[in-house]
Structure 1
Amino acid sequence: MPVLKLHAIEEEYKDLIVCMRTHKKCNRDPYFRKIKKEWTYYNSAYKDIDERKVVEVVNKSVSTSLTYSIKISEYDSIINKINFLKEHEKKVAYKQRRAFLKEYSSMKDYLFYNMVLLIIVSFIFISLIIYSIIKKDNQLKILTKKYKMDSITDSMTKLYNRMYFDKIFDNMPFISNANNWKTAFVMFDIDFFKQYNDTYGHDMGDVTLKAVASNLKTYFNKEYEYVFRLGGEEFGVILFDIDEDILKECLKDVNKNIESLNIEHKNSKISQVVTISIGAVIYEPNSYISCNKLYKIADECLYKSKENGRNQFTIHNEGE
């Protein structure tokens, strides 16, 4: 565009020279107007500092040429300057084109490498998603997601309810076998709870149930640990991936923790505070003991704890 404007100005100067040579009284005004219009457009266009210095020199000559005092020979000089500007514009355009091509090439490389990076990141991300989708999730998570919390929670103690216990307990051997885990089923029973209700009333009985439930839930709060209210004052815990030594330490802690709640129970035959008796069975993977038998063994262990003085635990290992 700058070169076209300069070319138009040059042609107007040439036409003006022809007019002056062929007519003694050549009317220069139309030529001046066209030259001024084209030059103003060209001169007002953006130019950097170096270009502006070059253009300013020619600008003075063009401004001077738009008067009747200029001779034909001076117009030839201006045409030469216009031609000089044309060549200068071509050189500038060439440099700008080279700079643009260089920048364009750099931008293409930048976009290419970013696209490659984006593809790699997307591939990794998609791979992780696919991996997480196709990865075999363990049966516990499937069961947990299958039932809504409001339908599997005991309304008073906020523990899992008996219905959800049946779902987990029925699948306990299958889960243990599939993962090669030792699994413990533990039953808890508050000692002399009938006497507690008779002494302090059912409202206080409910408060005590909540306190014991909260203590159990706080203690057994890790992954693969499930705490249930089985009914009345009886609670159950299923512990996946556990061994007997750890289980013993856990049950010792539970006996101490419940006693340390210091809930008064003046009609208990073994203590002045609420205590708990515990029976547990450990299921060995691939031993194929039925759920009914496991429940019966845990209940028998609970009964032994009560026979032996309560506020203690009894463990039976099906692998022994």
Structure 2
Amino acid sequence: MKKEFYKSVGFKLGVLSFIILASLFTSSFMFNSQIDKLKKQIDYIYFGNYMPVLKLHSIEENYNDLIKCMRSYKKCKRDPFFKSIKKDWDYYNNSYKDIEERKVVSKIDKSVNNSLTYKTKISTYKNVIKRINFLKEYEKKIAYKKRVEFLKEYSSMKDYLFYNMIALIIVSFIFISFIIYSIIKKDNQLKILTKKYALESITDSMTKLYNRKYFDKIFDNMPFISNQNSWHTAFVMLDIDFFKQYNDTYGHDLGDETLKAVAKELKEYFNKDYEYVFRLGGEEFGVILFDIDEKTLKECLKDVNNNIQSLNIEHKNSKIANVVTISIGAVIYKPYSYTSCNKLYKIADECLYKSKENGRNQFTIYNEGE
């Protein structure tokens, strides 16, 4: 039972560990994907806006230098300026642009490409510079817009990760709670089963009284317990009168029912603390009563004789009555008399024999130590 219990617990712990690891892996994967997404947005803001704007500055400077050159020299060599402008503009023009940005840049692209000729006048270059400046402002607005979108996305991502972690914690808590509950439940069941098996191991299966094995344990310790507590203790033996004849007449099934009825009556009568009722074997019963005097014992045994007879269980082949009766023998152990258990048992058995010799359905008491 314990082995199966621990297997069950181990399985559940394994499942929990797998779920937690899977959840952590999933959360880690989602976190990394969100981080990658964030990185792309940062790259876009930096390289998609900041770097192209630098190129626009460079293009503007080249146009200004070109204008200065044309004003200073009649034969200004424009090719180096064209080459540099073309290179920077291609870089800017080929950088990532959304649909709206592409529409704006496409219009200016024609002006820039058309300006890269020797026929172009200074006024045209100035006009292109204005457009370049417009693009710079436009890029700033786009960058600001992207930053707002980024911050919003960043906040959303933080919330997303936070709620995922909360969900993971809740799921883990539920599974851990379930496993703890299962362990406690199983442990309680084991305790109940252990108690049940322990009780069954000391209980007679038919009469539900304590069995002979448990009697030996209590009886062997009876003198010690009496000495330690300074108690007078009684050991009582009871036997159903003419029980063999009863079985022969009514059969063993009814004989078993009679045993159960007598056992039930004894158990109900001796139901206080420090009172133990046993089935010693066959139709013979034993009772150990701690902390009792002879007067009280006599009253108890008299009641027991009357109560069993009052059950009115038919016994037509009994030689003393028409109903089931019992004979009783008892011995009282006096503290510190140090009489052995074997002797006490023998004395009680002899008292039982005397009750039978004297006509049955009665009790005989021997006050040991007097």
Task: Indicate the TM-score class for this superposition, using the shorter chain for normalisation.
Answer: 0.5 to 0.7
Three-state SS of the structure 1 residue aligned to 2:265 is: helix
Q: Once the 2 structures are TM-superposed, how far is the Cα of residue 148 of structure 1 from its aligned partner?
A: 1.7
The reply on whether 1:297 has 2:347 as its aligned counterpart is yes
CA distance in 2, matches of 1:278, 1:257: 13
What is residue 312 of structure 1 aligned with on the other side? 362
Select 2:338's aligned residue among 285, 288, 296.
288
Within 5 Å, give how 1:181-260 maps onto structure 2.
181-260=231-310
Gaps of 5+ in 1: 1-144
Between Structure 1 and Structure 2, the one with more helix by share is: 2
Partner of 1:129: none
**Can you list the C-alpha shifts for 1:226-258, whole angstroms capped at 9, x where unaligned?**
000000000000000000000000000000000
Distance 2:237 2:199 in 1: 22
2:326 to 267, 272, 276: 276
Question: Which residue type is aligned with residue 257 of structure 1?
Answer: N
| Identity among equivalent pairs (%) | 86
Cα distance in 2, alignment partners of residues 206 and 151 from structure 1: 20
User: Matches of residues 64-75 of structure 1 in structure 2 within 5 Å?
Assistant: none
1:172 aligns with 2:222: yes
Specify the SS of the correspondent of 2:218: helix
Pairs aligned (count): 175
Please name the residue that 2:208 is paired with.
158
CA-CA distance at 1:319 after TM superposition: 2.2
**Correspondence 1:6-155 to 2 at 5 A:** 148-155=198-205
Deviations 1:119-177 (A, max 9, x none): xxxxxxxxxxxxxxxxxxxxxxxxxx9x9211000000000000000000000000000
SS in 1 for 2:224: helix
Rounded to whole Å, the distance in 2 between the matches of 1:258 and 1:276 is 7
Does the residue aligned with 1:148 lie in a helix, a strand or coil?
helix
Q: Distance in 2 between matches of 1:152 and 1:319?
A: 31
Corresponding position of 2:103: none
State how far apart, in whole Å, the 1-side matches of 2:308 and 2:201 are: 28
Other structure's SS at 2:330 match: strand
Q: Distance between the aligned counterparts of 1:235 and 1:152, measured in 2? A: 15
Distance in 2 (alpha carbons) for counterparts of 1:162 and 1:274: 23
Secondary structure in 1 matching 2:287: strand
Query: Looking at CA atoms only, which structure, 1 or 2, has the larger radius of gyration?
Result: 2
Distance 1:178 1:271 in 2: 43
For 2:324 and 2:290, the matched residues in 1 are separated by 28
User: Any idea what SS the aligned residue of 2:277 has?
Assistant: strand
In the alignment, residue 219 of structure 2 is paired with which amino acid? Answer: F
1:192 positional shift: 0.1
1:265 Cα shift? 0.1
Question: Residues 80-125 of structure 1: CA distance to partner in whole angstroms, max 9, x if unpaired?
Answer: xxxxxxxxxxxxxxxxxxxxxxxxxxxxxxxxxxxxxxxxxxxxxx
d(CA) in 2 for partners of 1:268, 1:164: 32
Runs (4+) off by over 6 Å: none
Aligned to 2:320, what secondary structure does the other structure show?
coil
Deviation at 1:220, TM superposition (A): 0.1
